Chains A and B, each alone.
Chain A
Amino acid sequence: MMNVVSLHAGRRLAYEQQQSGDRRQQASWELPRPTQSGDAVSGGDENTRFANLVLPHLGEAYSLARWLTGNRADAEDVVQDASLRAYRAIGNFAGGSGSARAWVLTIVRHSAYAWLRKNRPAAVVGVEDLETVETAQARPGDPDVETPETALIAKTDGARLEAAIAGLPAPFRETLVLRDVQGLDYREIAEVIGVPMGTVMSRLARARRRLIATLGRSEA
């Protein structure tokens, strides 16, 4: 792990150079075309499905990517990558009872973590590490169960709230953002993150308690 982290700066630079190259040359990011013109109808179908299923959720896709990567430029890269993946996989989306929104956000989440692992491995907390964190903080007396006044919470301004959410460990942050910022229900969140509903519930509660404890601390 330490080796990877120490390589991180150089790799990031290489990535940025590559990215700025991509931006100058827009054509390098385009969705694949249907192969032969005889198949024009199916190509149109894919584009229509993409327009119906993915484009309506771009705002939320961007919002999630922004919260997971922490900044705008990276979020844009992630959303582009996720859009490409969604386009390629559009035939796999069954529709019907499944939620297109949860499907799109699942892809965005995968793209975001793939991006983070590649470019900022230090930012990715493994699930094993997290379970240790979770167990350790299940006990009373930890910062988790600090209990500030409700009135103190209500006085928080937007910038401080944003910073406090950004400071949560990724597994807590994504759960809180999906529920309290983006308004998904527990079932959809479980689908997006790929964990049981019970895990969604406990992570959500811990995320909120950490946030409340942070906001309740005096501004230092």
Chain B
Amino acid sequence: MTGSSLHDDPALLVHAYLDGELDPVNALAVEQRLATDPVLAAEYERVQALQHLIRERLPRETPSPALVARITAAVAPRRPRWQPSWQPSMRALAASILVTAFVASGSTWLALAPQPAGTVESAVVAAHIRALMAPQATDVASSDRHTVKPWFNGRIPQSPRVVDLAKDDFPLVGGRLDVVGRTPVPTLVYRHAKHVISLTAVPVDGSANSSPAGRRVEGYNILHWTDAGVAYWAISDMAAADLDKFARLFRTTAPDQ
């Protein structure tokens, strides 16, 4: 299929728009067309309904613990005389894989390569992974931002901006405190389908606003931006385009006090 198919079928752009694959200029063009073309608008609604249906109702299956154990055991060297410490670590790995396979059915386990110590990013990534391996990713579990926001009050000097994105398929799951350096910082946890998103807010005095910039660390997408003196770090294993959409929604949705 070549580029010409895009002109034959403008609806492909509607799909790409829903998938967060368009740059801002093309996204705007699609939005304008949707407003005036009822056929395209109907396609938009149907595909959106379908995506919602798949996220909410499609049964998910995880590999059986036996399969995971079989594959994990297969990479553990048999009786390695010269490396006695190896086997217990593989067992620990097997255990963590089982836990994660159960928790997330997705790509949520990661052994991070050593990173330059002390960077906010590595602290944020480590906190996200730790949270995924814990029984629950939050210290306070609530989809109500009027519960989550006050929870931070009294624990840290400045409670973060919390917005409700449930209608956009990014429901709030809760919040937790992470530690960056020696400073406790608030992290909001959102969900999108089966993917967990950690959004850490670090107050930074006098920093200029910056637009989201993305990076990829072994299967995780990370977005970093600064708004109104707060540096944000969003991390998830979902597609970069979906994380972009999340950041856009978070930044543009009003907390409607």
Contact = CB atoms under 8 A, between A and B. Distances in A.
Given A56-B108, A99-B219, A202-B5, A188 B239 contact: yes
A180 interface: yes
Interface string B79-117: 010110010001001000100110011111111010000
B19 A147 contact: no
B29 interface: no
Nearest to B16: A201
Nearest to B76: A47
A75 to B, nearest CB: 8
A215 to B, nearest CB: 8
B86 A198 contact: no
B139 interface: no
B9 A205 contact: yes
Contacts of B58: 158, 161-162, 165, 181
Contacts of B68: 58
Interface stretch (B47-55, B179-187, B225-233, B249-257): B47-55
A58 B97 contact: yes
Contacts, number: 180
B208 interface: no
Nearest to B59: A158
Interface in B204-220: 216, 218-219
A191 B226 CA distance: 33
A181 B55 CA distance: 7
A179 interface: yes
Interface residues of B, number: 69
A70 interface: no
A158 B57 CA distance: 5
Nearest to B14: A205
Interface stretch (A8-16, A59-67, A111-119, A120-128): A59-67
Q: Which of A138, A148, A179 has its CB near the most chain B CB atoms (within 10 A)?
A: A179
Interface in A169-220: 179-186, 188, 196, 198-199, 201-202, 204-205, 208, 211-212, 215
A57 B51 contact: no
Given A26-B70, A198-B3, A198-B6, A51 B93 contact: yes
Interface of B: 1-3, 5-6, 8-9, 11-12, 15-16, 19, 21, 42, 45-47, 49-54, 57-64, 67-68, 70-72, 74-78, 80, 82-83, 86, 90, 93, 97, 100-101, 104-111, 113, 193, 195, 216, 218-219, 238-242
- Top 9 closest pairs, chain A to chain B, by CB: A62-B63, A185-B239, A158-B57, A198-B1, A56-B109, A199-B1, A59-B105, A153-B49, A202-B1
